[in-house]
Chains A and B, each alone.
Chain A
Amino acid sequence: MDSVESLITHIQGLSGCPEDVSHLHSLLKQEEDSLQSQGSRLGSFLHLLDPSKHSLGYLYFLEAHTSGSVVKEEASGFLNIVANFINACSAEQIQVAPDKFVSICKRFKEQVMQLQVPIQGIAPLLVAIRKLQPSPEHLTALHPDFLLLCLLAKCYKAGLSILDDDISEIDQPKDFFLYCYYGGMIYIGLKRFHKALEFLRHATTSPMPAIHAVAVEAYKKYILVSLIQNGQLPNFPKYTSSAAQRYLKLYSQPYVDLASSYGTGKISELQSCFNSNVEKFKNDNNVGLVKQVLSSLYKRNIQRLTQTYLTLSLQDIANTVELEDAKQAEMHVLQMIQDGEIFATINQKDGMVSFHEDPEQYKTCEMIQHLDSSIARIMGISKKLKAVEESIACDPSYVTKAGRERTRLDFDDFDSVPQKFLV
């Protein structure tokens, strides 16, 4: 039909500068239905367009062409076309139609998962995220998909490239919850429990009118990681939604029980709690993590000894902590020294261990650099917070509410609220 050819000409002519591109965008939106209905034909026209110069037009055509289900034989061809497009496209042009871009990328991810080659999607999705984001602080709908592929392909390190960014702009809460949950899982896989805790905490304490499956699963893992990292389960922070506070523990009873038996400090109690709930842990795919909780109790008990004793015999350690013999105790202590979890010296001649203070004096250049970068980061966040506070203070709905409250309080404060807002 003529309209497709003429559309191609428009695309080729109007892709030069931002004004032309936005004109092109309105044209394409007008023709959207016609494109969708001719989806199967459009494939033969794609070669007339250059994905890097005519990104917006190419995007519309590609999206209409692939909106039906992808036939198995064409699957790898589909993956290649989309991957090439993602790599070649211009970020400015696709940011004009972000929903279409997201839709293509999500279809790409579905295909990659269906063909069971998640690793094939990792590099392209990372490029897609970077092109879609107005800045590294923006969370896109593709963030959780990317992390999911990294998890499925077991390429955990690849996920770090976006997890290291500090997110401060979020469009869809659902994306944020999934991003935090998958991010937590990646950090767990990399054994960076401190970061995992942070992400899982976000997934359980972010505003939610009603609890949902992601928050529940995140909370289960949060309990386990809290035990591994800190030896205890903290209370909910004040800002947690009431729905979460009321129901999260209810849905994770076996894990709460595990936390209580961990609190007794006895390996035997923890082990029996594990045995009685093992089926539930298996169903949740958390057995590996629970086993790490168990081995962390030995470490925790040994660490507790350092608070009471200056020196202790290896045999005494073995007895207190319920290890088999002095040699096992020695190996545990050695590994903890290697991991920096304890400061001690083993004296094999006497079979004794001497515990020391942390020798860190916080005077080294390395430590100063660490402090420097942390302070700089905090200053950056503080500035951002100030800006958000100022913009809220100007928000009409806030000022109205404040105005309503003011009449009951202080005459002197009237000045800050314009007359028309005083109800």
Chain B
Amino acid sequence: MASSSLDLTPLKDAVSSRSYDKIADICDELRLQVASQGISYVDEWPYAIHLLGYMLVQDMNSARFLWKCIPNSIKEGQPELVAVWAIGQRLWTRDYAGVYEAFHGFDWSPDIQALVSTLTGMFQRYRNRIFQLLLNAYSTISVADTARFLGLSEDDATKYALKHGWTTDPTLQMLTVKKMPVVSEQKLDPGKLQSLTEYVFHLEH
């Protein structure tokens, strides 16, 4: 990320410390501040990282709006930016398998190290999230579909599923999902008594 007049230190710190969730907010704040000073920032703004920041917190609305603001000249000059957006588009249209294809379909150069490490972080999360979705939504699902959803080969997908306690039917090429019980906190603390007293007082007056 070359920057001459832009001070992008908070962003660089967030990326290097892997505070992925903060990237979007930091970028938003910085961009508004820089713009308000009348600095011409458009040519040097790290749009690719900004977009990734949104994708990391699943804020596809903001990602779409940001993409619309980027001038065509910038889009034409930065193939990595276009490649990042290709991933974003598939996230938006919920082309579950296409997300992995878009990631692997681009030759990410090691120069863009910061970008690639953010991307890899994003992918692990994405795969976990999709696995949770499958867990929630399916009782049985074909091996082929599981592989597409997880962006793995059919063998790797089966191994992944078995590791999580799913069972497999080789003849039908079907996986049976093992549901995990949802644990949620139900403890009440004594502070609630105070609130309850206030509510009753309010209702009676």
Residues of chain A having any CB pair with chain B under 8 Å: 76, 79-80, 83, 117, 119-124, 153-158, 189-191, 331, 333-335, 337-338, 344-350, 354, 359, 363-366, 368, 372, 375-376, 379, 382
Query: Are B140 and A347 in touch, CB under 8 angstroms?
Result: yes
Tell me, yes or no, whether B19 is within 8 Å of chain A by CB. no
Report B19-47 residues with CB < 8 Å from chain A CB: 28, 31-33, 35-38
State A190–B37 Cα separation when bound (angstroms).
Answer: 27
> Is the interface on chain B under 10, 10 to 19, 20 to 34, or 35 or more residues?
35 or more
CB of A122 within 8 A of CB of B137, answer no
Are B36 and A372 in contact (CB-based, < 8 A)?
Answer: no
Q: Are A76 and B94 in contact (CB under 8 A)?
A: no
Interface: B113 (CB within 8 A): no
Q: Which of B1-9, B74-82, B156-164, B184-192 contacts A (4 or more CB under 8 A)?
A: B184-192
Q: Which residues of A contact B35 (CB under 8 A)?
A: 117, 119-120, 122-123
Q: Give Cα A348–Cα B173 distance, bound, in whole angstroms.
A: 11
- Asked if A364 and B186 sit within 8 Å, CB to CB, the answer is yes
Please report which residues of chain B, range 124-165, place their CB below 8 angstroms from some CB of chain A when the two chains form the complex: 133, 136-142, 145
Q: Are B174 and A157 in contact (CB under 8 A)?
A: no
Which B residues touch A345, using CB under 8 A? 137-139
- By a CB distance below 8 angstroms, the chain B residues around A157 are 28, 59, 62
Decide: A348 and B94 in contact? CB cutoff 8 A.
Answer: no
Q: Closest approach, in angstroms, between the C-beta of A355 and any C-beta of chain B? A: 12
Chain B residues whose CB sits within 8 angstroms of the CB of A155 once the complex forms: 28, 32, 65
**Which residues in chain B, 183-205, are within 8 Å of chain A measured between CB atoms?**
184-188, 192, 195, 198-199, 202
B145 contacts A83, CB within 8 Å?
no
Residues in A with CB closer than 8 Å to B195 are 372, 375-376
CB of B139 within 8 A of CB of A153, answer no
List 7 interface pairs A-B (beta carbons < 8 Å), by A numbering. Answer: A83-B36, A123-B35, A153-B69, A157-B59, A158-B32, A347-B140, A364-B186
Residues of B within 8 Å of A154, CB to CB, are 65-66, 68-69
Q: Which A residues are CB-close (under 8 A) to B187?
A: 365
Distance from B138 Cβ to chain A, minimum over Cβ atoms (Å) = 5
Could you say which residues of chain A place their CB within 8 Å of the CB of B38?
A: 76, 79-80, 83, 120
CB distance from B108 to the nearest CB of A (A): 28
A334 and chain B: residue at smallest CB distance:
B137
**Contact in complex: B36, A156 (CB < 8 Å):** no
Question: How far is A376 from B28 in the complex, measured between Cα atoms in Å?
Answer: 32
A80 to B174, CA, bound (A): 65
Q: Which residues of B contact A (CB under 8 A)?
A: 28, 31-33, 35-38, 59, 61-62, 65-66, 68-69, 94, 133, 136-142, 145, 172, 174, 182, 184-188, 192, 195, 198-199, 202
Known: A119-B31, A123-B33. A337 touches B65 (CB 8 A): no
State whether B61 touches A191 (Cβ < 8 A): yes
Q: Name which residue of chain B comes closest to A80, CB basis.
A: B38
Contact B36 A338 (CB under 8 A): no
Q: Which residue of A lies closest to B59 (CB)?
A: A157
A363 neighbours in B (Cβ, 8 Å): 184, 186
For the complex, give the distance between the alpha carbons of A333 and B94 in Å: 13
Kindly state the separation between the CA atoms of A349 and B142 in the bound complex, as whole angstroms: 8
CB B23 to nearest CB in A, in angstroms, measures 14
Assembly CA distance A154 to B69 (angstroms): 7
CB distance from A141 to the nearest CB of B (A): 20
Q: What B residues does A346 contact at CB under 8 A?
A: 137-139, 141
Nearest CB in chain B to that of A333: its residue: B137
* A189 adjacent to B61 (CB under 8 Å): yes
Closest B residue to A342 by beta carbon equals B137
Q: Is the CB of A156 within 8 A of B32?
A: no
B174 lies within 8 A of A337 (CB): no
Q: Tell me the bound Cα distance from A117 to B59 in angstroms.
A: 24
> Which residues on the B side are within 8 Å of A365 (C-beta)?
184-188
Look across to chain B and name the residue whose beta carbon is closest to the beta carbon of A336: B137
A155 to B174, CA, bound (A): 46
Contact B138 A347, beta carbon cutoff 8 Å: yes
Per the bound structure, the CA–CA distance linking A345 and B176 in Å amounts to 12
Indicate which residue in B61, B137, B198 contacts A156 across the interface (CB closer than 8 Å). Answer: B61
Listed residue (B66, B140, B142) with the most chain A CB atoms within 10 angstroms of its CB: B140
A residues in contact with B188, CB < 8 Å:
365, 368
Which of A158, A354, A372 is in CB contact (< 8 Å) with B139?
A354
